[in-house]
Structure 1
Amino acid sequence: MRFGSWIILGVAALGLMTLSAEEAWAQQRKPPYFASITAGKARMRTGPGRNYPASWLYQRSDLPIRVIDIYGEWRKVQDPDGTEGWMQVNLLSDRRTAIVTGQIVELRAQPRSSAKVNWRAAPGVVGRISRCSDGWCYFDARGRGGYVEQGRIWGTDPNETVP
């Protein structure tokens, strides 16, 4: 076997290891849990298979979803509006995101209501979340971040702690 063939085999094996790690994450989680849509376009289906008709086409990566059931490589999910359906696991990520609900929210410099307001975010804005505790989450919408009250976003359980 030539040296170039070994490189190709090595790259292929690395790709398989990456896929296996992603599948391992998906298999280890027990529902319900939050995840996000990783693909720019993702179809929600009426059942767990490509033979089921698509009920929605999501064109918004990072949209938070709640995984509520598992069937093989398919996940039954619920979107922020409460719509339920099935998505392939490879369309999902463990990246934690949230969406602003209700009214405009204030993103604060510290996790308290008296802290300085850094930014404001309108309903429907999606951002990545981290450091959720004591009813506050750090919410970052494309580099504009701050602490938001956990009850003002959808993508975490009430009083959930996110490391």
Structure 2
Amino acid sequence: MCSMAMASDIGKVTKRPLPRFVSMKAVEGNVRRGPSLSHRIDWVFKRRDMPLRVTAEHGHWRRVEDRDGMGGWVHYSLLSGARTVLVEKDMLQLRSRANPAAPVTVALEFGVVARVGACETEWCLLRSGGFKGWAPKARLWGVAPAEVFN
């Protein structure tokens, strides 16, 4: 992360920043009303690698939400630290460099899930379907605006 989180923004279980982004490791994951198996299942996430935002921690459970703000509690074993994003613009052009004038390597459809290799201030390096390239961070869901990493 590019900035230090305040003490109140640190998860009590993992000591990692809150909120933060993760992805679905499992093909399917129950989303519960509370942080235990005794809580009702409200729905099921059914998209492996889908980016999710962790907003709270309790024991082995993480409260997550998707791009629409829908979510609940999922067991940590269903989540991965691997970074992915959802493409938020139809036919988003990936470029060979983090530059709007760089050659286009591929265009991705709205809703495609792509793996993130690195993020700079305004651009992220993505991989999807055997292609890779740089995309404007503002066109992606799954990375914070100020987040920089490699």
Question: What TM-score does the superposition give when structure 2 sets the normalisation length?
Answer: 0.87
Q: CA deviation at 1:30?
A: 3.0
Alignment of 1:73 onto 2:60: yes
AA partner of residue 95 (structure 2): R
Q: Relative contact order (C-alpha < 8 Å, sep 6+): which is higher?
A: 2
Q: CA deviation at 1:102?
A: 3.4
The answer to whether the Cα contact below 8 Å between 1:150 and 1:159 also exists between their aligned partners in 2 is no
1:29-108 matches, cutoff 5 A: 29-108=16-95
Structure showing the higher helix proportion among its residues: 1
Query: Identity across aligned pairs (percent)?
Result: 34
Q: Which runs of 5+ in 1 are unaligned?
A: 1-25
Distance in 2 separating the partners of 1:162 and 1:143: 22
Q: Which runs of 5+ in 2 are unaligned?
A: 1-12
Aligned to 1:27, the other structure's residue is in SS state coil
- Between the two proteins, the alignment pairs up a number of residues equal to 138
Hey, which bits of structure 1, 4+ residues long, moved more than 3 A? none
Distance in 2 separating the partners of 1:62 and 1:118: 22
Q: CA deviation at 1:113?
A: 0.6
Q: CA deviation at 1:133?
A: 0.4
Q: CA deviation at 1:37?
A: 0.5
Question: What TM-score does the superposition give when structure 1 sets the normalisation length?
Answer: 0.81
The answer to whether the Cα contact below 8 Å between 1:103 and 1:123 also exists between their aligned partners in 2 is yes
The structure 1 residue matched to 2:137, chosen from 150, 153, 157, is 150
Distance in 1 separating the partners of 2:90 and 2:130: 21
Please tell me whether Structure 1 or Structure 2 has the larger radius of gyration of its CA atoms: 1
Q: CA deviation at 1:84?
A: 2.5
Aligned to 2:14, the other structure's residue is in SS state helix
Structure-2 residue corresponding to 1:16: none
Alignment of 1:138 onto 2:125: yes
Q: CA deviation at 1:138?
A: 0.4
Structure-1 residue corresponding to 2:3: none
